[in-house]
Amino acid sequence: MSALLDFVRGRPLRIGYGRIFHEANAHSPLLTEREDFERMHHLEGKELERATTLRGVELKSFMPHAELTGFRQAARLAGGVDTVALSSSLAVPNGPLSASCFAWLLDGLERNLRAAGPLDGLYLALHGSMQVDGLQEPPEAAILRRVRAALGPSAKIAVSCDLHANLSSGLVDPVDVLVAYRTNPHWDLAPTGFRAGQRLIRALRGRQAPVHAWRKLPMVLGGGTTIDFVAPMRGVFRFAKELERDPRVLTANIFMVHPYTTAADLGWSVHVTTDGDERLAWEVADRLADRVWSVRNVEMPRSRSVDEALDEARGSAWRRLGPITLVDGDDIVGAGAPGGNTRIVESLARDDRGLRAFVPVHDPALVAEEWDTPIGARRRVVLRGTPGYAAPAVELEGTLAARSTTDFGRTLRFDVGSFHVVVTDRSPLPIHPSFWSALGLAARDADVIVQKNFFHYRLFYATTSFRHLLVHSDGATSLRRVREQPYRVPTHPRDVVRDWRDHAEALRG
């Protein structure tokens, strides 16, 4: 109410904005450290303010305009809002954060928050599937508790999350506005920030009175590919948007959980916000939960063994149109795996099948050993992958053909038979064809390209690769691991669950 009165009297609203964003994989042997954020994205104050304008670049090498830019555009269009840059930190998905890294992130955000002076509101871009080594609660709960203590009780908080967030009461209860991405692959970061800012400003000015309802489903896998514009999720997301056509429904969010953490109550969720009508919020949340639950038995595309996938690629007519993509489903760097799976290289070393294959592998020890080797030298090397990952050692004889320092650290290219191994000292994420061109390879010339990402690469290979094969071996993103691990309540697909309502309240905590 005080923010509304101040607006009427002519004082602009003051809203802070920031980000702590990370998707963790509990099965990775690596911890995420401060250096991983500083290397990828860490901005504060004036630097963050410049980066989140339409002329700035918010996420260098990834996306020029993301959530915080979208939020600032909402504030600009609303008028009468001063936005205050705090801090923004993002790292490539990886293992859990170390305790010291989390403390550094949280202390920095709180320091900037207290230095900002009195604020009417705060917008935070979080992921929702962070994990911190040794922390016995959701990290988002710890973040929001510290934030609330620094803000005081009267300020309102808006949070946006990745649609793979794992909802908990510690994430939902402290916030006034909660908004999720609506796309997978995620391209709508800026629109998500815009919607969060718009709703926060309306709430601060008394034009909306957001109330929440959410349901947690005993479900960790389902929905087929889970791509938003492909069946079955296309219909589910369309249903959520139809719910928002009711002017009383402010948001209808779907959260298809990241299944590779060890959070206590892992599962898909739905979340609904209405304008002051709590009963309606629960009714709509139940309807949305029913719609999501209806796609639980739609399986992902068929997965092949490494040998099966390479044999299929060799005989496939799709190669005439462009390279066939092998999605290394058990070693997805985009979902926090380290990228050190050597099993595809192991198969190619036995029989390259005449395929010109491009394969990325994380092996910092091999990069260190061979970094000073002259280009063009013939070498016998042993590829071991990520330390502690239990990947098989593979003996290779080939030519050191190129070296470069890229976003993925020091990088070497070895040509072995008909295939090329790109070895990195940081986890490789070849989402963009420039990953290969930096080492003198053209994606269009390959027969096979190995990806360490489920979806996002398709945005950049849409005119290059038209056939995609999911491959399983053994690694940090193995779906077998997800299906077999124990859960506190019976959970689909590990268990037969008749109705999500049977366990919804237990999962909410």
pLDDT score, position 6: 53
**Residue 419 and residue 380 share a domain:** yes
Say yes or no: 239 and 340 in one domain.
no
- Residue ranges of the chain with per-residue pLDDT less than 70: 1-10
Same domain, 31 and 155: yes
Q: What is the pLDDT of residue 459?
A: 86
Neighbours of 57 (CB within 10 A): 16
Q: What is the pLDDT of residue 10?
A: 66
Q: Cite the beta strand spans of 51-117 per DSSP E.
A: 81-90
Q: Is 405 helix (H, G, I), strand (E, B) or coil?
A: strand
pLDDT in tens, 303-336: 999 999 999 999 999 999 999 999 999 999 999 9
pLDDT given for residue 456 in this prediction: 84
* E strand segments, 233-377: 249-255, 269-275, 303-304, 324-328, 357-362
* pLDDT given for residue 344 in this prediction: 98
**pLDDT for 450:** 98
Q: How far is CA 96 from the centre of its chain?
A: 14
Single out the residue of 388, 390, 258 nearest to residue 336, CA to CA: 258
The verdict on 384 and 417 lying in the same domain is yes
Give yes or no: residues 171 and 201 share one domain.
yes
Per-residue pLDDT, 423: 98
* 274 and 343 both lie in a single domain: no
Name the domain boundary from 208, 237, 257: 208
268 with 376, same domain?
A: no
| pLDDT recorded at residue 8 | 45
For residues 268 and 145, state if they share a domain: no
Its pTM surpasses 0.75: yes
- Tell me the C-alpha distance between 343 and 421, whole Å: 12
Specify the pLDDT at position 434: 95
Q: Is the Cβ–Cβ distance between 341 and 391 less than 8 Å? A: yes
Q: Based on the fold, state whether residues 229 and 140 are members of the same structural domain.
A: no
**What is the per-residue pLDDT for 62?**
82
Can you tell me the distance from the alpha carbon of 173 to that of 113, in angstroms, rounded to the nearest whole number? 21
Residues 389 and 338 grouped into a single domain: yes
CATH code, 153: 3.40.50.2300
Domain total for the chain? Answer: 3
**What residues have CB less than 8 Å from 82, skipping those under 6 apart?**
12, 13, 14, 15
Tell me what pLDDT residue 468 has.
Answer: 96
- 336 and 292 in a single domain? The answer is no
**Contact between residue 209 and residue 265 where contact means Cβ atoms under 8 Å apart:** no
My answer on whether 431 and 485 are in the same domain is: no
Structural domain range at position 191:
2-208
